[in-house]
Amino acid sequence: MLNVGTATTVGVVTSARKDIAEVKLKRPVCAEIGATVAISRRIGSRWRLIGVGVIKD
């Protein structure tokens, strides 16, 4: 799950390199380049924050 500002969406990682991951979103969100993204994963019955990122072009 990805949180960008107040928008929440689910995505699948399509490509992962050293410090860059490309994610295909199930529902697109509107965000500016440079916006911070919170990355969460379901562990048990709860969503847990596993990382943060920045939107790049």
Query: What number is the average pLDDT over the span 9-38?
Result: 93
pLDDT at 57 over 90: no
Q: What is the pLDDT of residues 29-52, one digit of tens each?
A: 999 999 999 999 999 999 999 999
Q: Token pair for residue 48?
A: 């847990």
Task: Report strand pairing: 11-16 vs 7-9.
Answer: unpaired
For residue 38, the model assigns a pLDDT of: 96
8-41 b/e with 16+ CB inside 10 Å = b? eeebeeeeeeeeeeebeeeeebeeeeeeebbbbe
Q: Which pLDDT does position 42 carry in this prediction?
A: 92
Residue 27: which CATH number? Answer: 2.40.30.10
Residues recorded for the chain: 57
Total structural domains in the chain? 1
Residue 35 lies in domain: 2-54
pTM, rounded to two decimals: 0.81
